[in-house]
Amino acid sequence: MKNLDSDIQYLSGVGPKRAALIKAELGISTIGELLRIYPFRYIDRSRFYRIAEIAGEEAYVQIRARVVSRTMYGPGGTVIPPGDKKLQYAVKRLSVIVEDGSAQTELVFFKGIKYNYARLAPGSVFVFFGKPSLWNGKLSMVHPEIDAPLPEGSDLQGGLTGVYPSTEKLLAGGVTGKVMCKLQSAALALCLPEVEENLPEYILSENALCGARYALKNIHFPADQYALQKATRRLKFEELFLLQLSLLKQKYIRSHGNPGLVMPKVGSAFGALYESLPFSLTGAQKRVIREIFEDMRSGHQMNRLLQGDVGSGKTMVAVLSALLAVDNGYQACIMAPTEVLSRQHYANIQKYLSPTGVKCAILTGSSTARERRGIHAGLEDGSIGIIVGTHALLEEGVVFRRLGLAIIDEQHRFGVDQRARLWGKGPLLENTPSEGGSPHGRVPLQHRAAPHVLVMTATPIPRTLAMTLYGDLDVSVIDELPPGRKPVKTTLISDSKKVQVYNFMRKQIALGRQVFVVYPLIFESEKMDLNNLELGYEEIVKYFPLPDYKVAIVHGQQTNEVKNFNMEAFASGRADILVSTTVIEVGVDVPNASVMVIESAQRFGLSQLHQLRGRVGRGAEESYCILVHDFKTSKEARERLELMCRSNDGFEIAEEDMKMRGPGDLEGTAQSGLPISLNIASLARDGVILSEARAYAQKVLDADPGLESAQNSLLLKELRKSKYDIKDYSKIS
């Protein structure tokens, strides 16, 4: 008996050899998993559209139309006459206007221009098949397929046909698109009756969703456009709803299921720092500290995300929060993703702490055995109030006397598991059976109180992404910069004009300023990236020779010692220029640096450029960001970069970035952080369904937080699947 869990080799048309190929290429092994590989687009050859009825959103349409006119265009939209032999090389685009009696539309060709010009003579009729798009309200089709028209009234072949993801190896092994369709069809024939509904009836009807079997059948073999839409909506909703349900449920369990350490007091250390601040906090900083304090005194465990643009003053908020913990008799730790950042935090925090008398230490991978011993002792006896460091803080040997608050800077580099490990360092609950009186040892988590957790990120994240990446957290936003900040003046320049950039750098250095020069990771291999960086370094050293100029270089291949030494040379002002890869992306604070030069800027995402730019403009001086693009950079890429010159708003830039780079890129880069990988929904395109799904998930949980009612039993069953990985940390030992 074959079922959804059977190996795909038992499908007709798949032997052991093909099965092995499909497994290797698509990463699936059962029939059920095969059925979850959906077409990523559809070809609709089932009918002819009238041009007037095309909305511009259809996946593919087929029209029968007559050529009205055709024109060749050169650079900047100049018309190039067909007879002009001299100018033919300059032709960039062929535009063909066609009509079908209902309306006109434009067909656009960037390739095969000569051939298509000759073929598409005015007056001739063809069948065009392609993806319509809408630009400024004007309909067009780029590179449609062109066929001679079928005789009037003849039958059309085929309906909506799915196009499945494929690979070269699959094709070479004979698993073509057609074969894939056959396999899906065989799989459905065998197993469709077995597919069970996984959403309760009331949810289907309240959200007007079709059933699971209908959806699965029609996502593979749509009866028509309408059925395809219904199937797509159901599957997207299901995916996003279950994900949000699992996130919101985790959030609920954390805040209600576990006792939170109660920290009701605003004490002397907090007061001492607050009184001694040389500036007053911004309104946003004050609001956020209030939100954090409300959590910390509430009796619920805090899990809060703090978003704020670079320079918005998150570190200050972190330190004040840490002092709240200290004043209530607890310890706090502040984790940063790199050694360099940890050191910088440590230096700043120590400065802030001097009026408070609270002892602070730093622990990183490069702390010596001797330093470690001292720190371990200080954490265990409670004499160290605040510890700053890298992942080294998560090591087994690090034991706190009473860890009350864990602050994680730049969350995107830390995973959920690491948050869980912090939990294991929380204080023992009162009635815990003691193990020789030692606060460490392998005490099950249910005997530990989770420390409050505050994660901070300077990466403004589009709303849909935040809802998914941080769906289990409460969110605070610092949406106000300290007064007096001047926006960074940003310009875009071609690398053929590099000398101008160097001259500008000279002038700034003569004024006593410092300059960052950043190189992207361009090549697959680290070795080649390094070469690229070193070539750049050599060129800069040539333009900025000793003894007048000092240039430091920092990259990921250096030992920590060398890296820290060079970083320090720049931070202390001994070096005028810092040449580096993106290791300086986050956090590093050198107020005297007024110029950020970014090489091959077209290779960065906008959000990342915004991050980098945030490294300057921290002092009182006017500051500059110079985006250098390769002279070959396309017009689209340059337009993308121009947004950086216009806007200083991290959220606006992040939204644009997600739209422009498309879901593929964005989710590709964010994937590592997504709680589960999305199979059909897209964070860039399905924001509306996502919001609906999240709101609805919240409604379901409000009515039944434990999903214990009979009507929700299906949901509970779904969430137990390993992919949702609902960790009720209080039950893990």
Question: Which chain residues interact with ligand ADP by CB under 6 A?
Answer: 279, 281-282, 285, 308, 310-316, 458, 482, 589, 618
- Note whether 350 and 360 are within 8 A (CB): yes
What is the smallest separation between the CB atom of 706 and ligand ADP, expressed in angstroms?
Answer: 38
- Alpha-carbon distance of 664 to 21, in angstroms, equals 25
279 binds, among Mg ion, ligand ADP, none (CB under 5 to 8 A by kind): ligand ADP
336 binds, among ligand ADP, Mg ion, none (CB under 5 to 8 A by kind): none
What is the smallest separation between the CB atom of 409 and Mg ion, expressed in angstroms?
Answer: 6
By beta-carbon proximity to ligand ADP, the closer residue of 234 and 314 is: 314
Question: Shortest Cβ contact with Mg ion: which residue?
Answer: 587
260 binds, among ligand ADP, Mg ion, none (CB under 5 to 8 A by kind): none
By beta-carbon proximity to Mg ion, the closer residue of 144 and 650 is: 650
312 binds, among ligand ADP, Mg ion, none (CB under 5 to 8 A by kind): ligand ADP
282 binds, among ligand ADP, Mg ion, none (CB under 5 to 8 A by kind): ligand ADP
In the block, tokens 């395109």 appear at 685
191 binds, among ligand ADP, Mg ion, none (CB under 5 to 8 A by kind): none
CA dist 399 → 259, 331, 372, 377, 615 (Å)? 21, 11, 12, 9, 34
Three-point CA angle 268, 274, 279, nearest 5°: 165
What is the smallest separation between the CB atom of 62 and ligand ADP, expressed in angstroms?
Answer: 54
What is the smallest separation between the CB atom of 447 and ligand ADP, expressed in angstroms?
Answer: 35
By beta-carbon proximity to Mg ion, the closer residue of 404 and 587 is: 587
What is the smallest separation between the CB atom of 615 and ligand ADP, expressed in angstroms?
Answer: 10
Tokens of 231: 């199937």
**C-alpha 233: how far from its chain's center?**
23
In the block, tokens 């769906």 appear at 471
By beta-carbon proximity to ligand ADP, the closer residue of 458 and 683 is: 458
460 binds, among Mg ion, ligand ADP, none (CB under 5 to 8 A by kind): none
In the block, tokens 């409300």 appear at 294
- Alpha-carbon distance of 725 to 242, in angstroms, equals 12
- Alpha-carbon distance of 245 to 405, in angstroms, equals 27
By beta-carbon proximity to ligand ADP, the closer residue of 286 and 731 is: 286
CA dist 236 → 229, 339, 687, 733 (Å)? 10, 41, 11, 35
Q: Name the site residues for Mg ion (rule: CB under 5 A).
A: 315, 587
By beta-carbon proximity to ligand ADP, the closer residue of 80 and 316 is: 316
By beta-carbon proximity to Mg ion, the closer residue of 310 and 509 is: 310
Burial (CB count within 10 angstroms: exposed 0-12, middle 13-18, buried 19+), residue 549: middle
Burial (CB count within 10 angstroms: exposed 0-12, middle 13-18, buried 19+), residue 158: exposed
Rg (CA), the chain: 30
What is the smallest separation between the CB atom of 356 and Mg ion, expressed in angstroms?
Answer: 20
What is the smallest separation between the CB atom of 626 and ligand ADP, expressed in angstroms?
Answer: 21
Tokens of 672: 């590592």
Give the three-class secondary structure for 176: coil
User: How many residues are given for the chain?
Assistant: 733
What is the smallest separation between the CB atom of 53 and Mg ion, expressed in angstroms?
Answer: 54
By beta-carbon proximity to Mg ion, the closer residue of 449 and 586 is: 586
DSSP bridge partners of 406: 333, 453
